[in-house]
Copies of this chain bind each other. A is one copy, B any other.
Amino acid sequence: MSFKVIKTEDRARRGEFTCAHGTVQTPVFMNVGTQAAIKGGLSAHDLKNIGCQVELSNTYHLHLRPGDEIVRKMGGLHKFMNWDGPILTDSGGFQVFSLAKLRKITEEGVSFASHIDGRRIFMGPEESMTIQANLGSDIAMAFDECVENPSPYEYVKQSVQRTERWLERCIVHLDKLRREEGAVNPNQMLFGINQGGTFKDLRVENMKRIAKLDLPGYAIGGLAVGEPAEVMYEIIEAVGPFAPADKPRYLMGVGTPTNIIEGVARGVDFFDCVMPARNARHAKLNTWGGTINLKNACYETDPRPIDPLCDCPVCRSYSRAYIRHLFKADEILALRLSVMHNLYFYNSLMVKIRAALDEGTFADFRAKYSGMLDSRVKE
């Protein structure tokens, strides 16, 4: 279990992260399989074919369905979904605060109603760690409160302090679970999460304090929730100097290709986002010249692949005209092919970022692609 920064270019880092299920080349974009399946009908086998390094599943969702005890019985998440690569599970915190209803927060944790059947559930640091231990992910995330944006300074300050106390309870509880006989993944790691809303002083103070806990990784959470990208970049820059240099940094839930390039430029190593799969399901596809909307009539007889510069399994086989037809005809193959393409695009964006860092040309890469990749192709 280790993280090694191989090379840097300004603040950007090229690294290697090793966990129980393999070594991850960083910067990395993790592919989201919320309910142990990737939206659009992609299987773990498909993930291999689109260059996925790390699969990310959601603690909240898997606790509700099928239930983490069932996943544990089935030998853990790796075996359950037949993915033998690294898995990160989030803590459930974000979903508790974005999906669940009728929340009540106390020092102990959060009581809330399931968004599926209204069932009353309690989740605190110990519960989150127990669920994640049952899932047996390689990286477990600390249970945190994701405050609304904007929130009052005083509220955020107290929330951050509570999340810090929760982090200490997470460490103690996961450490205990990991050592138990029959632990699904005795090498499960815990990443801490930096919070503090958009208040830089709270962010920095929080990062300083959690850095001392010497965790195997640190995330920046609670961003990309509606604030301008510039605010997000400023916060990453503000906390960066106080995050341990020898530990990976994970910017949670981010983002567009440009956000990722800018995140890398500010020293981020891990990313994840539902955006590429969600956009794909709405026919909004990434290309190396910007985004296109495949439902546009101009693609009705376009024989080209989604992106002529892409060598993904979809672009090697199918035309824009065909995939547009599938969307128009409500065939779910449209979703599958589009999600495959967009995830491949994100994974290959990271391949190119790493290659640029290896060659010391990341500044040029950034100048060429930042901004442009998010722009809409003239159709």
Chain A residues at the B interface, C-beta cutoff of 8 Å: 35-45, 61, 65-66, 70, 73-75, 80-82, 300-301, 303, 313, 317-319, 321-322, 324-326, 328-329, 331-337
Contact = CB atoms under 8 A, between A and B. Distances in A.
B321 A70 contact: yes
Contact of A317 (B39, B82, B322): B82
A36 B325 contact: yes
Contacts of A322: 36, 74, 80-82
Given A43-B317, A66-B324, 17 more contacts: A35-B326, A35-B331, A38-B333, A39-B331, A39-B332, A40-B332, A41-B331, A41-B332, A43-B336, A65-B325, A66-B329, A70-B301, A70-B325, A74-B303, A82-B318, A82-B322, A332-B332
A289 to B, nearest CB: 23
Contacts of A81: 322
A81 to B, nearest CB: 6
Contact of A70 (B65, B82, B300): B300
Contacts of A45: 313, 317
A319 B65 CA distance: 16
Contacts of A37: 326, 329, 331, 333-334
A326 to B, nearest CB: 6
Contacts of A82: 317-318, 322
20 contacts: A35-B331, A37-B329, A37-B333, A38-B333, A39-B332, A40-B332, A41-B331, A42-B333, A43-B333, A43-B336, A44-B317, A45-B313, A65-B328, A66-B300, A66-B325, A74-B321, A75-B303, A80-B319, A80-B322, A82-B322
A45 B75 CA distance: 31
A84 to B, nearest CB: 11
Contacts of A324: 66
Q: Which 10 residue pairs spanning A and B have beta carbons closest together?
A: A66-B325, A37-B331, A41-B41, A41-B332, A41-B336, A37-B333, A35-B329, A41-B333, A65-B329, A82-B317
Given A329-B35, A331-B37, A333-B37, A80 B321 contact: yes
